[in-house]
Structure 1
């Protein structure tokens, strides 16, 4: 498919520009062990898992980017398609056709996903349990809403715009988004047209990864819900995609899509590799953590021989945090 070479060309042009700020293992680090692939997906059918949200029973709700689907995968690997976003004739995006990217889950089971089409369907869509997808957020046609998080306490959805380099906010009731945070730290570069990417709400702040800059950013949420100044918390994260926190602290597991790695990023910004392609990663896109289990999606976007999109589970020990 033409869209994957276009992704690879943009990414490969600047791999050498990022310097890896890795650090050795620390006695206080969580340990990640027992990696195993529990589900494999159909690359030819566009089942390239991009993002992940977790169900109370430990099942993973994942977005299949190029098949425009939302699926539920049990911890045993059984996969059920929950919804398919509508086909958009003539859809054109920086990665080719229409793609479903970020996902967030409300406590009542409602799912929210970002859909990028290059047309009026671009935005945030809601999928209620057993219901059909419904567009609730109406974004500019040239937007690229990617990572998505829900702050249920204040009824707000946040999404990182990879193309326009900003964070949007949207009430869960829907409408047009607000550019909540902007600035050079969120933007792409001339060499790599993929800026703000993954996004999480954590401990009074919105955290964002920037793929082009290889950075992990923290944006405080002020009392009036506006954005505080952008803080750079880690650098040297080569082609970082999405990420997840290991617990209540600021330790992060980050997917490095081009390097087939998951990095453990410490609160001081140093980091080390905890999972690699040898464990089953194939262009990892996103991470989730629940109790003692780590979930990692691999989309195989850049793999030219025997692509292996999959869901990997591993065990995390956090007793030393």
Structure 2
């Protein structure tokens, strides 16, 4: 693995330097743009509603939305899951167990990454540790301690996570092994669901060893971002549950982490471009443009979730080391000229 850039200041927990998954695995770049379409959504009125403590490892990595409009976030470095209201009130829901000697690929420390929420309020997260604790963990709404429901390879890096309630399965993207795992919602043995060069990390500079990263289930398909390849991918789910052919839906998304779909606009995506401090609107034809920047409050954005006319965006400040936060913005129909 090539030597990777490091932020100038890193938080320390229990004497161990903490960084999060994508912090050590992205390279700087520029975003390709294209002219705006008259009927595409617009993003406006960004506002930071909650600020977090970088020194305590409160680096928000991923988002799951609650029915009341609050957001459940993973704090990667702190190994925590927090609930944040639209007004910015924050409370810790769970802390994943510490690992005595973590040997997590890419980062070296134990980190909580992807998150998915079931309709009954159960939360699922991916935990990367480099040990037997690596896998998918369940957090019940009754406040009981998190418990591991599936083990994934310690040499892997389980990252993005999504739940398909209809099929009763979870999908997890492994950034190092370049795979998508499928696990029964109740837990158990994981299935190697999708593999291929489109999911794999790069092997030569400036690639940094992070392949499949963000993951969403959308319109009978699993969508995955590949950070090193700067691509957005679509994998159809066949009726029997098997994976279809992997197709590239967008390219040139330098530094892409996670992403969210804009409702009422089929296959339109808002993607977090971590290293460029940008949010990109990705059209169904694969063209894209910048809609938010660091001037709007972004500080290495990691994930996007959209509900109705609101976009929720997390910034982990992995490189800036300043102001990890949760930002809300309006998503609305662009007026025709």
TM-score by length of 1: 0.95
Spell out the pairing of 1:1-321 with structure 2 (5 A cutoff). Answer: 1=10, 2-4=17-19, 10-12=25-27, 15=28, 20-93=31-104, 94-129=106-141, 130-190=143-203, 191-248=207-264, 249-304=266-321, 307-318=322-333
Counterparts of 1:252 and 1:20, CA distance in 2? 15
Deviation at 1:20, TM superposition (A): 3.9
TM-score by length of 2: 0.90
Q: Is the 8 A contact 1:36 1:312 kept in 2?
A: yes
Counterparts of 1:137 and 1:164, CA distance in 2? 17
Q: How many residues align?
A: 315
Counterparts of 2:178 and 2:193, CA distance in 1? 11
Does the residue aligned with 1:259 lie in a helix, a strand or coil? coil
Deviation at 1:140, TM superposition (A): 1.0
Gaps of 5+ in 2: 1-9, 11-16
Deviation at 1:6, TM superposition (A): 9.8
Q: Is the 8 A contact 1:166 1:182 kept in 2?
A: yes
Q: Deviations over 1:186-209 (max 9, x none)?
A: 000013200000000000100000
Q: 1:102 to 1:5 in 2, by over 3 A?
A: closer
Q: Deviations over 1:74-131 (max 9, x none)?
A: 0000000000000010012111200000000000000000000000000000000122
Deviation at 1:176, TM superposition (A): 2.2
Counterparts of 2:111 and 2:21, CA distance in 1? 14
Detail structure 1 runs of 4+ shifted over 2 Å in the superposition: 1-12, 318-321
Counterparts of 2:86 and 2:302, CA distance in 1? 18
Does the residue aligned with 1:278 lie in a helix, a strand or coil? helix
Q: Deviations over 1:240-267 (max 9, x none)?
A: 0000000151000000000000000000
Deviation at 1:5, TM superposition (A): 10
Q: Is the 8 A contact 1:262 1:274 kept in 2?
A: yes
Counterparts of 2:110 and 2:123, CA distance in 1? 19
Counterparts of 1:21 and 1:215, CA distance in 2? 12
Q: Is the 8 A contact 2:20 2:77 kept in 1?
A: no
Does the residue aligned with 2:275 lie in a helix, a strand or coil? helix
Q: Is the 8 A contact 1:51 1:103 kept in 2?
A: yes
User: What is the RMSD computed on CA atoms of the aligned residues?
Assistant: 1.7
Counterparts of 1:214 and 1:133, CA distance in 2? 33
